[in-house]
Amino acid sequence: MNKQEGPTFLYGTVPNPWCVATAGSVMSSIIPFLGRADAGSPVDLAPTFDASRHEQGISGNQLLARLSAQDFALLAPHLKRVSFAVGDYITRAGDPIDSICFLEQGIAGVLDSLDDDRRYAVGLVGAEGFIGWPLLMGDDRSPYDVTMRAEHGHALRISAAVLIAAVDASATLRKALLRFVHVFMLQMGRTIVSSLAHPIERRMARWILLYHDRVQADEICMTHEEFRLMLGVRRSSITDALHRLEEDHAIRALRARVLVQNRDKLMALAGDTYGHPEQEYSRLFG
């Protein structure tokens, strides 16, 4: 089933060959240059980009695609494509940030931890943004774990030193990157408000929409553990909420997957927990 018409803010629907639950049936369609990542470490898959490729729409990262040709030219010679497997760390809390990743495909979960090592999702980043934003605010260490969720992904990576030099040379580049940080802060704020004020099924509907935007396929790899990271509730509560969303014919819960059946109903269930950051992204980036 194709996605319902609605105010999605990222990009058009594309095939999703990386779903862990169904990868065996689609391996023949995987894009050849993506390669394979060893556990925990990204694989360097390509040499540098050149600025002319910006005009050809080569980059799958929506933030890079919206840069001016002049700003993109500051980054292009230094961008290298890397691949991440599900569960790979892009950054670890407390570690130095030595590179920035502009995702082209996949979902990065931003995770915070408590003293007993329980982890919770505080935000998601996909092809609309980048990972490593603390550098722009004067901090060279990551406050969060950032890991690949739901599907394998790939990104364009650039060294921290090169990025800092580029934003020092271009106020418009710095402004564009900070606009994404602003939108991400809005997303995190909405996560906090939703966690405090809304029932589980409404919060679940919101998270499914956030994944749906970034996976760009109706069938999404979402296990109970994935929902636990987002909702912070017991397995039985997750099952009950999934059943309520099924009763509303918004989704169908499959083994380790969720099938979005009616996006409009999901949006109605999510209410004002979803939409404001997405609208701000459209306003700021067009």
pTM of the model: 0.79
Q: Distance (Å, rounded) from C-alpha 268 to C-alpha 279?
A: 16
- Check: CB of residue 19 under 8 Å from CB of residue 257: yes
CATH number at 198-285: 1.10.10.10
pLDDT per residue as tens digits for the range 265-279: 999 999 989 999 999
Residue 56 has pLDDT above 50, yes or no: no
Domain boundaries, the chain: 62-192, 198-285
pLDDT per residue as tens digits for the range 13-54: 333 333 333 333 322 222 222 222 333 444 333 334 444 555
Q: Which fold has domain 62-192?
A: Jelly Rolls (2.60.120)
Amino acid at 231: L
